[in-house]
Chain A
Amino acid sequence: QQQVKQSPQSLIVQKGGISIINCAYENTAFDYFPWYQQFPGKGPALLIAIRPDVSEKKEGRFTISFNKSAKQFSLHIMDSQPGDSATYFCAAKPTSGSRLTFGEGTQLTVNP
């Protein structure tokens, strides 16, 4: 019940295209859903996050869509750039504490 399932495992997109990464969770106690971006040799960097009281959040080229009834959320990267090539992790956190449960990660490659 603590798992977060992420897909796809890898994704190749052309420059200017839309990258879409999906995540699903089971634990209804989760109430905070961040996305992290990780480059090789670096720690994960917080990209954008959402709470279940909204269905969508947009920050620049990055958008989270959230479907509470389906227990699914996704990251959309508009106008994908080669510099977006990285590994992306979705995560979920319950109401109390700071423990994050991570998805398996998606390796995104944006071709020029």
Chain B
Amino acid sequence: KAGVTQTPRYLIKTRGQQVTLSCSPISGHRSVSWYQQTPGQGLQFLFEYFSETQRNKGNFPGRFSGRQFSNSRSEMNVSTLELGDSALYLCASSPLQGTNTEAFFGQGTRLTVV
């Protein structure tokens, strides 16, 4: 089974621009969550999608948004980029069926804002 695929792996953007990151979950997994990882703040939850619906949202400004498609693939968007948005953005997929709640992460997208 293929793992979680995130594209692109690396991005360099300028302050004020917007960016869209993509995540393809493991086949059959319906839940996708996004996390931001920085040296100072560690791993912070952004949002969670299940069956195309946002179920949970972390404490991030409205510039951060996401969506999930009918095939469970997800995208997250960051508008009006700030220098502090530079981070590794990780996507995790989970089956969320019965007691199986294991979450598997992709390799992440390294975003650098200059």
Chain A contacts to B: CB under 8 angstroms: 32, 34, 36, 41-46, 49, 89, 91, 93, 97-105
Contacts and interface: CB of A to CB of B under 8 A. Distances in A.
Contacts of A36: 105
Interface of B is mostly: strand
29 contacts: A34-B102, A36-B105, A41-B107, A42-B107, A43-B6, A43-B105, A43-B108, A44-B90, A46-B102, A46-B104, A46-B105, A49-B102, A89-B43, A91-B43, A93-B103, A97-B31, A97-B55, A97-B96, A98-B31, A98-B96, A98-B103, A99-B33, A99-B56, A99-B58, A100-B35, A100-B43, A102-B42, A103-B42, A105-B43
B45 A101 contact: yes
B94 interface: yes
B48 interface: yes
Interface string B4-15: 101000000000
Question: What band does the interface of chain B fall in when counting residues whose beta carbon is under 8 Å from A?
Answer: 20 to 34
A46 B33 CA distance: 15
Nearest to B108: A43
Interface string B55-93: 110100000000000000000000000000000001010
Contacts of A101: 45
Contacts of B96: 97-98
Contacts of B94: 98
